[in-house]
Amino acid sequence: MRLSSSGLDEKSWLSASLAWLNTLPVFAVQGNVSRLELRIRCAGKKLRWRKRGKLSRMPSMDPKKTPFDALPTASKTKIEQAFNLEREAHRLRGDSKIDQAFQAFDQAAKLFQEVNEPLKAAVCFSSAATCWNIHTGWQPLRNAATRNESAALQALKAQDYAYSETLFSEAALLYEKEGDFTKYSYCYRRAKDVRLTRLWKIFTQMQGQGSPAVGLRSVSWKERVSIGTSWVLGSMNRLIWGYGEMPFRTFGIACVVITVGAFCYYVSGLILTGGFVQKIDLFESFYMSMTTYTTLGYGDYLPMGWVRGVAALEALSGILLTPLFLIALTRRYLRTR
């Protein structure tokens, strides 16, 4: 069976490919992929090449990555130590030596950090966290949560946004079980922020903009509209009340709305009171703004002209923002009980 016009049959092409792979250093691709992993990837891609009838998609090195042979001797040593520690950690975890496996994964992740391999560091931190998932108790939960958080930060540095979002969410759940609600809130908000970043990257890459990142894909125009809508709503969710975790941000926005409304009432001179349209002083302006925001409407001050639009928007803001503030404040209060 022919794969292309080059004259190579399938068996000869696969043999040549594996021979070429054997000539590569262990860390040739992305600085952290073993020769066995390359063979597996090659075998998987061969089927797609066979269907497409071309041989042009050969596995290649990332041009932004420094080849392993070109790295300084100290960096090579650290990378080799990190891989050895990772293999040893997997063996220890298989032997149910959880404490030792955790330490080995943790040390390997820190070495990968030092040689600027964030994605591999994220995997090792995550593996360290899983060492404690089979246990219960305060300290195991703390260890798992902190390592998931570290793994999420490294995955974010590597621009693997989907993986980072998952790790932040897992860390948030573990912190919540542990009772550390400050860290839970932080990781929960970071997970949502990473999701917004991922949506924005997908949206901008479809327009030929933005930087490349792990796991991004091209989508249809219908998905593009959906992604853009989700990003806008998520950004509003973040801005108004911090995904429900920051009630005093909502309170601050409410104060700004009341102040802007009072300023408009003060400078307009279009307020009906006492049977006359006149300019009111600053104190009366704040009084009118607060009664408008809370939709009390005593009737002693009535906006006229263009100020009616300001009053309508202020009243709508009060209707929307006040429940959000109360919900977020109640969540934080009940969580700390």
pLDDT digits (tens, 9 = 90+) for 148-188: 999 999 999 999 999 999 999 999 999 988 888 899 999 99
Domain identity same for 85 and 203:
yes
Specify whether 110 is located in the same domain as 32: no
Mean pLDDT of all residues in 250-272: 94
The amino acid that residue 181 corresponds to is F
Q: Verify that 168 and 274 share a domain, yes or no.
A: no
Domain-embedded: residue 60: yes
Question: How far apart are alpha carbons 285 and 278 in whole angstroms?
Answer: 12
Nearest to residue 110, comparing CAs of 132, 125, 92, 91? Answer: 125
Residue 16 pLDDT more than 70?
no
Are 120 and 91 in the same domain? yes
Over residues 25-35, the mean pLDDT reads 40
Cβ atoms of 106 and 147 closer than 8 Å: yes
pLDDT tens per residue across span 234-259: 999 999 999 999 999 999 999 999 99
Shared domain check, 35 and 106? no
Distance CA 278, CA 190 (A): 50
**Together in a domain, 197 and 111:** yes
| Closest to 92 measured CA to CA, from 64, 127, 117 | 127
Residue 225 lies in a domain: no
Which has more pLDDT, 41 or 318? 318
CA separation (Å) from 318 to 59, 132, 291? 58, 47, 10
Task: Share the mean pLDDT of the chain.
Answer: 79
Bridge partner residues of 9 (DSSP): 2
For residue 212, the model assigns a pLDDT of 58
In a domain, 256, yes or no: yes
Is 64 in the same domain as 115?
no
* pLDDT band at residue 282 using 50, 70 and 90 as cut-offs: very high
Does 77 share its domain with 110? yes
Closest-CA residue to 172 (of 194, 187, 151, 192): 187
Q: How far, in Å, are 2, 143, 317 from residue 126 at the CA level?
A: 44, 11, 43
Q: Is the pTM of this model over 0.95?
A: no
pLDDT at 38: 42
C-alpha distances (whole Å) from 324 to each of 187, 233, 250 are 21, 15, 7
pLDDT score of 27:
39
Domain boundary among 69, 89, 105: 69
- Is 203 a residue whose pLDDT tops 80? yes
Same domain for 58 and 136, yes or no, is no
What token pair was written down for 239?
């801005």
Of 210, 239, 268, the domain-final residue = 210
For 300-306, what is the mean pLDDT? 91
The neighbour count for residue 99, using CB atoms within 10 Å, is 11
Q: How confident is the model at residue 43 (pLDDT cuts 50, 70, 90)?
A: very low
pLDDT of 23 > 70? The answer is: no
Whether 230 is in a domain gets the answer no
164 in the same domain as 76: yes
User: How many domains does the structure of the chain reveal?
Assistant: 3
Strand boundaries in 93-240, DSSP class E: none
Instruction: Assess whether 35 and 97 both reside in one domain.
Output: no
